[in-house]
Structure 1
């Protein structure tokens, strides 16, 4: 069985990346190999995690890129990232804590390669940044009883692509934001592996179909 090639994009500590690293070539994520970890932050600890796992890494940040390339735009940056991702010849691209919203340029260059994103909220709720904090605050105001996390396909509209895996996470009365966030993160580690396996299996199916 040929291993499917997975590229993971990160911006931070890389705990979701670590879940994928630990799962590859196990029953949770068989026949998958992470071939590149790419970050838009030079100090992202996820790059260290990747290096420790002997996975190639890449880095390009938006503002340094724009300063070094007068006249270039955010769209040019997106295209540059896309080209570096494509050099790794991925079957699947996973955004695992990637804190940059791509424009159409990135997705159009990906073509038919599936791109999925982990988001710490339920579909249609708390799109964009600080979703965990916003859900916790909404619970304190009595507006919601629970939040959750999802992995969805990436489309132009932020956090609005088709959900692949969705899981509710209750918020307990009296618990701290940190405690809620810790429980939610543990769910994220499960579902990012589950969703990646789904799209890897889809890639298998498409290859078998041809």
Structure 2
């Protein structure tokens, strides 16, 4: 099995990269066997996740492209053109899987169409981590919205999921779902910290699940 190729992961981030760190720590371990992060890409230049990647031993290659600077430098180009350019840059590293780990930009058809045509027409799967349960609190600020709903007595628990990325925001097939209860009197930051700890677990689980589908490791 020593000649089995590494399963290649591209991770897209926008912020501090704590979910990225969970993947970094898991690569090439029993949690993510024969898996290697080959690119960390951000739409924010100051994202600390880029530093995490650069400081990993050996360093993980990084990339960066922000929407507004791209549009300013390319008059006449659109948001869809930006999405397509991001896709092209990601596909250059020939990933077996693309993981959105705190990527704060909604991709449209320009990205998904190119990714879906890659790999000889088989496409490259794209998964996303979202801090809410399926069908609840789609989009941004999901943690804060769930916390507020709990304060109003509308819900008793929230949760996290990793799902396949489709054109409808946060509506792709759920892969791993975990409920996280809310507690009376708990501060928002404390709830968020508990929820993030669950995120670090399930992003690794879902990444392994999809890699095992597209490039299973032979049984020795």
TM-score (norm 2): 0.93
Distance (whole Å) between structure 2 residues aligned to residue 30 and residue 90 of structure 1: 16
Does the alignment pair 1:33 with 2:36?
A: yes
Q: Which sections of structure 2, spanning at least 5 residues, go unmatched? A: 117-122
Aligned length: 207
Q: Look up the match of 1:95.
A: 100
Does the alignment pair 1:190 with 2:201?
A: yes
Q: Look up the match of 1:202.
A: 213
Distance (whole Å) between structure 1 residues aligned to residue 22 and residue 178 of structure 2: 17
Listed as ranges, the matches of 1:40-189 within 5 Å are 40-53=43-56, 54-111=59-116, 112-189=123-200
Q: 1:19: how far off?
A: 0.2
Distance (whole Å) between structure 1 residues aligned to residue 143 and residue 8 of structure 2: 31
Distance (whole Å) between structure 1 residues aligned to residue 12 and residue 61 of structure 2: 12
Q: Look up the match of 1:7.
A: 10
Q: What RMSD over aligned residues (CA atoms) do the two structures have, in Å?
A: 1.0
- Secondary structure of 2:176's aligned partner: strand
Moved more, 173-182 or 105-114: 105-114
Distance (whole Å) between structure 2 residues aligned to residue 98 and residue 133 of structure 1: 17
Distance (whole Å) between structure 1 residues aligned to residue 176 and residue 18 of structure 2: 18
- Secondary structure of 2:8's aligned partner: strand
- Secondary structure of 1:37's aligned partner: strand
- Secondary structure of 2:88's aligned partner: helix
Distance (whole Å) between structure 1 residues aligned to residue 176 and residue 132 of structure 2: 12
Q: Look up the match of 2:120.
A: none
Q: Look up the match of 2:19.
A: 16
Q: 1:31: how far off?
A: 1.0
Distance (whole Å) between structure 2 residues aligned to residue 204 and residue 178 of structure 1: 38
Q: Look up the match of 2:119.
A: none
Q: 1:203: how far off?
A: 1.3
Q: 1:105: how far off?
A: 1.2
- Secondary structure of 2:215's aligned partner: helix
Q: Which sections of structure 1, spanning at least 5 residues, go unmatched? A: none
Distance (whole Å) between structure 1 residues aligned to residue 195 and residue 214 of structure 2: 28
